[in-house]
Chain A
Amino acid sequence: DAKTTQPPSMDCAEGRAANLPCNHSTISGNEYVYWYRQIHSQGPQYIIHGLKNNETNEMASLIITEDRKSSTLILPHATLRDTAVYYCIVRLNYGGSQGNLIFGKGTKLSVKP
């Protein structure tokens, strides 16, 4: 079972920041938070991951709370092409098959003109 909780859907206006929340209250100290997205009819795409520090790359920023029980993915200037299902996943970065990615239902983000 997925260890994360995400809202099933969100809307965002084009050009505005999209803030996608994720709860992972049972996360252990060794587990990382990963974000992927899946645009309709395509395979999932890796976005970003982090352990406890905030992370930023060319696609997005990841903000992890100090207690690590929740995180927020930020798309700073959402475009229509960012409409997708966004998955938040916790993953153990050592220790055999526990490192495999287990996807939940994700958040369907709709970016509107």
Chain B
Amino acid sequence: ETGVTQTPRHLVMGMTNKKSLKCEQHLGHNAMYWYKQSAKKPLELMFVYNFKEQTENNSVPSRFSPECPNSSHLFLHLHTLQPEDSALYLCASSRAGGTLGTGELFFGEGSRLTVL
């Protein structure tokens, strides 16, 4: 138990669906992250939020839309995805983002997304 909870753990969606991934942290952290892990590829940083402000968008397609309503919650809204977007989506949090933090990230267990 890392203090970072992701829901749902598994999601299957069609290319025309709209769905959302949710992440919640109970650690009092101020930074939250979305990473993508595709089969046989390294983890890819997608978005970073620091004190609710987006500080990093790593050239992610607009069909992925993040939302950070407060420091404890992070969402990833998904619409018109492609089969190649199937992956494990990992959320993480840290005391602060970028180099303000210690580099110690706490990860959730991930949401396994399958796009048909």
Interface size class of chain B, counting residues whose CB lies under 8 Å from the partner chain = 20 to 34
- Counted as pairs of residues, one from A and one from B, with CB atoms less than 8 Å apart, the total is 71
| Residue from B100, B105, B108 with most neighbouring chain A CB atoms (10 Å) | B105
Partner of B98 from the list A32, A34, A46, A99 (CB cut-off 8 Å) is: A99
**Interchain CB contact under 8 A, A100 and B48:** yes
Some 6 contacts from A to B, beta carbons below 8 A apart, are A2-B42, A41-B109, A43-B4, A100-B45, A100-B48, A101-B45
**Interchain CB contact under 8 A, A93 and B103:** yes
Bound CA–CA A36/B35 (angstroms): 15
Question: Is A91 interfacial (CB-CB < 8 Å)?
Answer: yes
**Interchain CB contact under 8 A, A46 and B45:** no
Question: Is B27 interfacial (CB-CB < 8 Å)?
Answer: no
Shortest A87–chain B CB gap in Å is 8
As a 0/1 sequence over residues 1 to 14 of chain B, the CB contacts with chain A under 8 angstroms (1 = contact) are: 01010000000000
Partner of B110 from the list A2, A43, A103, A106 (CB cut-off 8 Å) is: A43
| Residue from A98, A99, A101, A105 with most neighbouring chain B CB atoms (10 Å) | A99
As a 0/1 sequence over residues 65 to 94 of chain A, the CB contacts with chain B under 8 angstroms (1 = contact) are: 000000000000000000000000001111
Interface of A is mostly: loop
Closest-by-CB residue of B relative to A102 is B45
**Interchain CB contact under 8 A, B103 and A34:** yes
Closest 4 interchain pairs by CB? A43-B107, A99-B99, A99-B98, A103-B43
Closest-by-CB residue of B relative to A30 is B99
Shortest B47–chain A CB gap in Å is 10
Instruction: Give the chain A neighbours of B106 by CB distance below 8 A.
Output: 46
Partner of A97 from the list B2, B4, B48 (CB cut-off 8 Å) is: B48
Apart from A34-B103, A44-B43, list 20 A-B contacts with CB within 8 A: A2-B42, A32-B103, A41-B109, A41-B110, A42-B109, A43-B92, A44-B92, A44-B105, A45-B2, A46-B105, A49-B102, A49-B104, A91-B103, A96-B98, A96-B99, A97-B48, A99-B99, A99-B101, A100-B33, A102-B45
